[in-house]
Every structure is written in structure tokens, then in C-alpha cells.
Chain A
Amino acid sequence: MLAVRLRSTKKGKIRFASHRDIAKVWERTLRISNIPLMYSQGFSPRPKISYGLALPTGAESDCEYIDLQVDDSNRESINVEEICTSLNDNLPPGILINGASVMNGKFPSLQQTVTSCIWDITVNEDDTKVDSWVDRINNENTIVLRRERKGKEVVDDIKPQVHLVRKNYERIDGRVTLQAELGTQPRSLRPSELLRSMEPCLTEHKLRRRKQIVEEGARRLDPLEVAGATPMRSLIGAS
């Protein structure tokens, strides 16, 4: 068995496909590309694929991760670059693998390992409104968010999850764009939740996940660079 972690984009029209839709796309693309996977045992065997943190439907991303367990029992060697090339030929437009690592030994799942995400949040409001909103988010000691979970209203202080919020220099579609780093443990703070956590709320025009980060001690790593991962240098930086 060969464990492989892939990083890919989700850009353009495909951003409207849901997390579940994309999971199915991966399963089919892996079959089409003839990549043998390990299967679970039991009554209805499933291919061993595990998906990273869900991306909200409609958001774009530079950094979606997926872990595969490739069945290498019938082959002398499996070339990860070749796997990526063949998957890239068959994935729908907008999804492109731009990084891969071979994972050695035991390693925690993507859901467990990622500690925060960096987002570009393009909003509909003008500079004045956004500036004052950002100031208040950064200066308040607590940010109270009411949200529904399993049919019950839950009130949380999300301040510890808000690692960074600042205005980007770059505008997107002529609109103000925020950069925000939001924590993902024990559960993710969503950009939409951040925007409505402080009145008057900001409204989302476009959303893009720029980075997922794993904090290992003092180091901030890409999930492709965690302990035990051997990154395929040739793939990194492919656009």
C-alpha cells in the first residue's frame, strides 16, 4: 500500500459543486484513470479515500487536499507524478492537482491535522464600512456568535478562532477583499460565520481558500510538508 496526499485547486464554474459532489468526482476519476486503490473490507467495500476539510459550495480554492491509499501489490513501482498527470487529464476543468506527497508511516488525517485556513473574502461593502468592521473585530476581546447546531441555538466566543483579519491591497471584481486566517480546531470557523459575527454584518461576494496550515510546534507547514511526508518537488508550483 502506498499512501499519497494530493493538493488541488477548485476554480471557476466547478466551485458550485458541493463537497459531496466533488467526492464522487474523485472516485470516478480515479477509476477512469485506472489507479488501483485499496478497498475497505466487509459487506460493501469502499475505496480508501479520505477527504480534507469541506469547502463551502461556491467558494474557490488553491489548496484542497485528499489522501489516497493506492494498491501497489500488482505493480513493481508506482510513479506518483504519473498518477497526477493521468488524474489531471481526467479531472473536470477547474480542478488541477498542484502538489503531492508520499506519506510514510502513520499520520493523522487531514481533518485532525490542519489547524487553520487562510481565506480571501471579497465583500460587497465599501472601504469605510469594512475598515471600521475590521477594527472592531481586531479590538474586541470577545466575539459572540449565535448559531444553530443540531436544532439548538449555541452561543460561542469565536475570538480564539480568529487568528488574523486584515484588508488586502488587491481588490477583486473592484471590491474590497479581506484576508482572514481562521482556526479549524476543534471545529472550523466558517468565513460566513465571521462576516455575520459583528453588526452591521458584511456580506460575501466571493470566497477563496488560499492556504491550509498545520502548526507543528513553532512551524507553520503545508499539509504536504508535515512529518512523514515526502513532497514531490516536480509538482509543486504547477499552476
Chain B
Amino acid sequence: MTSIWPEIEHLLLNVEKPARYIGLERGAIQPPHDPRNVAWLLTYPDAYEVGFPNQGLQILYEIINELSIGEAERAYAPWVDLEKIMREKGIPLFSVDTHRPANEFDVIAFNLSSELVYTNLLNCIDLAGVSLRSVDRGIEEPLVAAGGHCTYNPEPLADFVDFFVLGDGEEVVSEITYVIHEWKSSESASLSRDSLLKELSKIEGVYVPQMYNVRKDQNGFQVLEPKHDDVPKLVEKRTITSLEDWPYPKNQLVPITEVVHDRLNVEVFRGCTRGCRFCQAGMITRPVRERSADQVRTMVSDGLRRTGYDQVALTSLSTADYSHIEKAVAAVGDDPLSCGQTGVSLPSLRVDAFTVGIAATIQGGKRSGLTFAPEAGTWRMRQVINKLITEEDLYGAVESAFSQGWRRVKLYFLIGLPTETDEDTLGIADLAKNCVEIGKRYNKQASVTVSVGGFVPKPFTPFQWFGQNTIEELQRKINLLKDATSRSRGVQLKWHDPKATLVEGVLSRGDRNLSALIEEVWRSGGTFQEWSEHFDIDRWLSSMEELGLSVEDYAYRHRDKSEPLPWDHLDAGLYKDFLWQEWRDALEEVGLEDCRWTPCYDCGACTGYGLDHVVASTSPPVGGSQGTWQDLTKGSEVPQLLTIRKKSETV
């Protein structure tokens, strides 16, 4: 058990924000090192202040450390100033908990939540002193693993990662730990890395790229085939049936230094059935699994007591949809510990007046800003993407906000959506102007910030076949909006860099050939690509050209139904037919209702797994359309009960 602390201690005087590297956070664990244990280094491949709050990483950290045979520590990508010194002095990537060198761990596991961190993953492997490519790693080297939303298309990283984990990690992380432990403790002479990888590939939810042969079909598309009979043809994601069984993190970490989202987080539900067709998170995390109001209350009050936080976020993909939202919010206010000083935040507001009412109660006197995501500027466009917010919903929400004292409202939109016309794009400006008009009735300084991002099609969504807009086209649309809003007082326009959108698009739906690209960009110094001051499109474009990879092929062209997709060997629980039908319906501007309150349309998420949506209340909350476009005034409609069948039987 070594610690590199003595080596870095004096170096930290010369780097920015050295507290990022000291550990010591409240709740942090310094596990005793036992060489017989399976030691995980849970690594977030971006800066500490961005990675620290990641709840997935903290959940696994606790679960592994609770195992008698497991130990887990955390690492983050060192910022460029420290990295430079580490490389000069030969100091390896280290854990912040005990400052143990990364290559002393059995598994270095990465959380992947954005494509732009891929080069950082390579950088971390290299800093760890571990061979970059999976095939080159020896038996003494750590396993490299990855989980998180990006692993639904793991192929661009397939050469660098030994195994990927799909879906919820709560159960599978222990199963993996046991398999590695058994392999480690075996005295058999035939102990090979290959045998371990093969065992891992048999665990449901685990994808081991090396266990597959890559073939090109007659059109040159990548097709994967298992090397062995007992390696699964189709790797299914893992889904925990009840969130209630996993009240984690029980002991959320509290940082010493400044990080983003610095507050207590309590996940009120996982999954979403709104069915927005552009939204990968909503598709891959189905079905909806709610936590009971009682457990939410307990987690909030225990969490506040343990952490000393005065701010709690009730998290999910759409928290206003939580059946017991009002109870949960009231519970925070009633907690004796909070003394009325505890604030609540709802990170994803639904676009309607009901939601604003809740926001008004929880924010007390504070009226800093409210954010809504109508996503598209016209009703036609919103039907295409199935974000069924009516203009009345939006104006109602905005009026409610301004009338209750808010002065600033932020609206999120996507541009470059399928079938988008200039009329749709300009609709964004119209909506924003109308919102300002509404605001001016209540406050002369009313302002609306419009934030537009270029759309990136993602695997396992109905838009996975869509060719994304070019940099030039996105820029043209941004310019249209700039012109349309330049003379409107009260509308502020912000936009994401279309160049970064392109790189995300290439990586999001790419195949194994992209490993060369990621390596090339990393070698040329392209790390921290999520940070605009470090992002450089030229590195990517020139490397693609050198390697003979075409931007057109990877990002811009529409894909055909018959074309094999690089993630066809993975199963996110959704039937491909369902996704295709949704894609066709999108093009015909047909919306799809939220299945929590309407009959099942069999997307596959429940049926395939013997699951059902777990909603704490079976009746939809009464009042208005609540952003579903459905008439919910009629009250309860019990969710359809499903006949359970195995996925294999349905094909």
C-alpha cells in the first residue's frame, strides 16, 4: 500500500486549486488495502469540480466499499497544470482518498457522460501507466472499465476499454467484483487475462469488446460476432426493479472545495416515459421507477443531518412528474433541522403553471431565475420531437413566473432537428418575444434568455437514423436567430458551438474505426475537449482527414433501416421496430402519449424484462395538459398492466 502524497505535496503549491487533489471530503472512505480484495478506482475523466458531484460514481463507491471483498477509491482527471508536472516527474494518476497509484488497483472504472471526455479517458489510462490498448495489457495490469450513458455506443472506445457496463450499476457492480475476486484467488495455472474477460462477458449487462470478431458486411458496415458460443450475441442492459431497495448514496460526499451542483441530491425517480424522441436519457432509462414519499423524506432529512448542506435537489429527468412532488417538497420545509433555511431545487422543470407554483413555494423569497425547455419553436416541430408542450402551456408557465416575481426566464431549444424549416427555427424567436411581452406586463425589466444547442442524434432513440445538420447549417440557423432577436429588447440569445456539436455527433454514432481518431487527437494534445478554451475542431478534422474518415459518413448522412448500426449487439430494452415506427411517426408529425396514463404501446422496456412502471400514484395529477398535450382533467386512468413475457419469445 503506497501513497504518492509525499511526492505531490510540494508540487501542489504550484498548481491551481490544489484542494482538488487532497481528498478529505466528508463521507470519503480510506479503505484498508488488502491485496486479496478487488480494488476499484472509480474515475471521472474530467476535472474534479465537474466530476465530484456525479451521483452514479458515489453510489458505486458506497456499494463496493460495503462488500467484504471490495474496496473503492476515486480519481479525477488532473488539470493540465498538474498533469504537466506529473509527466515531468513521472508521477502516476492517483486516488484522492489514499493517494494510491492507479496501477495498484484491480479495476480502473470510468464514468462516461459525454463524448467529449473520450480523449481524457485515454489520457487517464496513460497517466496510470497502463497500456493504452486492451490487447496489449498484461496479466498484472488493471482492468479498464466504463459505464454511464455514453456506453450505449461503446464502439469508438472498444479498443481501449476491457469491459463496458450497460444500465443501472447497483447490482452488477457486486457481481463483477465477485467474478474478479474468484479469478484472483484461483490457484489454477491457466490464469489468463482472457479467461477473466470471458467470465466477465457472461454477466448480464457486461460487454467485453475483445470477445467479438469484427466483420465488414458487403456495404462495409461493421458487424460484430461473438468469438465463443457462451459469449452473448446481444448484451442486455441492467435494470434494477425498485429504486426503493437502493437508497444510495446513503452518505453523500461533501466537498472541501468548490464544485458544481454543490448540494444534497435525492433521486426521486429513474426513467421517463414522456417519450421525447431526441432524448437518449429518457429512452435508455425506462421504465419509470419512483421512490416512495416516505423514503424521499428520510433520505432528505438524514442527508441534511449528515452533510450540513442547506440546499437539496430532488433529481430525476422530470421532477415535477413525481407523483408525490408536493409531499416531498413540503417534507423539506417541515424538517426540524432546516429551520426554514433549507432551499429546494428542481433541476428539470416541466413547462406549466403548476410547476411554477411549486417553484414559488420552495424558493421562498428568492427569485433568481427559472429555466424551461420547450426544445422547439413551433407546435409542428414539437410534434416531430414528441415534446408535446402547447404554446398555452409555455405562456401559462411564463406568466405564472413573471406574475410571481421572477424577472428572468431561461428557455432551452434545440436546432437542427429532423424536418426543421426556417419557420421552425424562427418560431424560437417568436416564442421568446411573446414571453418577453407577457413579462413586461408584470415587470419592465423582464428578460428571456434563449439558449440554443445543435441537435446530436443518439443511439437507441428514434432519431438514431437521422443525419445531423452540418456546422455551416447550424451556424446559418444561429445567424437567423441572431437577426430575428437583435432588435428585441429583453431577449438574450446564447448558443453552443456548432463545431463541438459535430465532434459529439461523430463520436456518438461511430464504430471501432474511430479508436484511431481518438488516439490521434489525444496524442496531439487534445484533452479537456468539453472546455471551450481547450476544444479545437482542427485537431479533429485534420486527424479524420489523415485517417481517411469522412465526416459525411459518420455524422451528416441519413441512415437506412437495413444498415447495421454499430450498437446493434447491445440492447437498451427498446425494440428496434418501436424506434423505427417512432422515427416514421416523427416524420409524419404524429405525437405519442405518455404511457404512464395511457395504454402500453410496447416499447420493450417493461415487457422484455418482466417489469412495470413503478409509480407511487396511479392517477395522473389533475389539471391542464401538464406538458403532455393529453387532456388530464378527466383524472385517473390506471396504468395498463402488462402480460409478462421473455424478450426472446417476442422476436
Contact of B306 among A14, A25, A32 (CB under 8 A): A32
The answer on a CB contact under 8 Å between B257 and A32 is no
With CB as the reference atom, state the residue of chain B lying closest to A32.
B308
Question: A13-B5, A16-B19, A58-B18 given as contacts; is B307 within 8 A of A32 (CB)?
Answer: yes
The answer on a CB contact under 8 Å between A14 and B305 is no
Does A205 make an interface contact (CB < 8 A)? yes
The answer on a CB contact under 8 Å between A21 and B341 is no
Beta-carbon contacts of A185-216 to B below 8 Å, as 1s and 0s? 00000000000000000001100000000000
Chain A proximity of B457: nearest CB distance (Å) = 41
Does B514 make an interface contact (CB < 8 A)? no
How far, in angstroms, from A27 to B12 measured CA to CA in the complex?
Answer: 26
How far, in angstroms, from A220 to B430 measured CA to CA in the complex?
Answer: 71
How far, in angstroms, from A221 to B307 measured CA to CA in the complex?
Answer: 37
The answer on a CB contact under 8 Å between A17 and B308 is no
Chain B proximity of A41: nearest CB distance (Å) = 13
Q: Of B22-30, B271-279, B405-413, B549-557, which stretch is located at the interface?
A: B22-30
Question: A25-B256, A43-B365, A92-B256 given as contacts; is B308 within 8 A of A16 (CB)?
Answer: no
The answer on a CB contact under 8 Å between A13 and B310 is no
How far, in angstroms, from A47 to B10 measured CA to CA in the complex?
Answer: 35
Does A108 make an interface contact (CB < 8 A)? no
Does B483 make an interface contact (CB < 8 A)? no
How far, in angstroms, from A85 to B65 measured CA to CA in the complex?
Answer: 29
Chain A proximity of B337: nearest CB distance (Å) = 8
Residues of chain A with a CB closer than 8 A to B22's CB: 13-14, 16-17
Chain A proximity of B151: nearest CB distance (Å) = 34
The answer on a CB contact under 8 Å between A92 and B24 is yes
Does A228 make an interface contact (CB < 8 A)? no
Residues of chain B with a CB closer than 8 A to A92's CB: 24, 26, 256
The answer on a CB contact under 8 Å between B26 and A27 is no
Contact of A13 among B24, B306, B365, B366 (CB under 8 A): B24
How far, in angstroms, from A205 to B257 measured CA to CA in the complex?
Answer: 23
Number of interface residues of A (CB under 8 A): 27
Residues of chain B with a CB closer than 8 A to A58's CB: 12-13, 18
Contact of B366 among A18, A21, A44, A93 (CB under 8 A): A44
The answer on a CB contact under 8 Å between A21 and B309 is no
How far, in angstroms, from A131 to B58 measured CA to CA in the complex?
Answer: 52
Chain B proximity of A17: nearest CB distance (Å) = 4
How far, in angstroms, from A17 to B21 measured CA to CA in the complex?
Answer: 10
Q: Which of A1-59 contact B (CB under 8 A)?
A: 13-14, 16-18, 20-21, 25, 27-32, 34, 39, 43-45, 57-58
Interface size class of B (residues with CB under 8 A): 20 to 34
With CB as the reference atom, state the residue of chain A lying closest to B24.
A92
Contact of A18 among B23, B257, B306, B309 (CB under 8 A): B257
How far, in angstroms, from A78 to B257 measured CA to CA in the complex?
Answer: 31
Beta-carbon contacts of B101-115 to A below 8 Å, as 1s and 0s? 000000000000000
Residues of chain A with a CB closer than 8 A to B254's CB: 28
Q: Which of A93-145 contact B (CB under 8 A)?
A: 93-94
Residues of chain B with a CB closer than 8 A to A57's CB: 18-19
Residues of chain A with a CB closer than 8 A to B309's CB: 28
Chain B proximity of A204: nearest CB distance (Å) = 8
How far, in angstroms, from A108 to B501 measured CA to CA in the complex?
Answer: 57
With CB as the reference atom, state the residue of chain B lying closest to A124.
B10
With CB as the reference atom, state the residue of chain B lying closest to A91.
B26
Chain A proximity of B327: nearest CB distance (Å) = 24
The answer on a CB contact under 8 Å between A16 and B18 is yes
Does B258 make an interface contact (CB < 8 A)? yes
With CB as the reference atom, state the residue of chain B lying closest to A14.
B24
How far, in angstroms, from A32 to B307 measured CA to CA in the complex?
Answer: 7
Residues of chain A with a CB closer than 8 A to B306's CB: 32
How far, in angstroms, from A204 to B13 measured CA to CA in the complex?
Answer: 10
Q: Which of B6-22 contact A (CB under 8 A)?
A: 10, 12-13, 18-19, 21-22
Contact of B308 among A28, A44, A45 (CB under 8 A): A28
The answer on a CB contact under 8 Å between B308 and A29 is yes
The answer on a CB contact under 8 Å between B23 and A31 is no
Chain B proximity of A55: nearest CB distance (Å) = 13
How far, in angstroms, from A29 to B13 measured CA to CA in the complex?
Answer: 26
Beta-carbon contacts of B305-326 to A below 8 Å, as 1s and 0s? 1111110000000000000000
Residues of chain B with a CB closer than 8 A to A94's CB: 24
How far, in angstroms, from A39 to B339 measured CA to CA in the complex?
Answer: 11
Chain B proximity of A66: nearest CB distance (Å) = 16
With CB as the reference atom, state the residue of chain A lying closest to B9.
A13
The answer on a CB contact under 8 Å between B257 and A21 is yes
With CB as the reference atom, state the residue of chain A lying closest to B17.
A18
The answer on a CB contact under 8 Å between A16 and B12 is yes
How far, in angstroms, from A31 to B5 measured CA to CA in the complex?
Answer: 31
The answer on a CB contact under 8 Å between B256 and A21 is yes
The answer on a CB contact under 8 Å between B308 and A31 is yes
Q: Which of B267-308 contact A (CB under 8 A)?
A: 305-308
How far, in angstroms, from A32 to B252 measured CA to CA in the complex?
Answer: 13
Residues of chain A with a CB closer than 8 A to B366's CB: 44
How far, in angstroms, from A90 to B256 measured CA to CA in the complex?
Answer: 13
Residues of chain B with a CB closer than 8 A to A204's CB: 13
How far, in angstroms, from A94 to B5 measured CA to CA in the complex?
Answer: 15
A residues with CB within 8 A of B: 13-14, 16-18, 20-21, 25, 27-32, 34, 39, 43-45, 57-58, 90, 92-94, 204-205
B residues with CB within 8 A of A: 5, 10, 12-13, 18-19, 21-24, 26, 254, 256-258, 305-310, 337, 341, 365-366
The 4 tightest CB contacts between A and B, nearest first, are A28-B308, A16-B18, A32-B308, A31-B308
Given contacts A21-B19, A31-B308, 16 further A-B contacts (CB under 8 A): A13-B24, A16-B19, A16-B22, A17-B256, A17-B257, A18-B19, A18-B257, A21-B258, A31-B310, A44-B365, A45-B341, A58-B12, A92-B256, A93-B24, A94-B24, A205-B10
Show 16 A/B contacts (Cβ-Cβ < 8 Å), sorted by A.
A16-B19, A16-B21, A16-B22, A17-B19, A17-B256, A17-B257, A20-B258, A27-B308, A28-B307, A29-B308, A31-B337, A32-B26, A44-B366, A45-B341, A57-B19, A58-B18
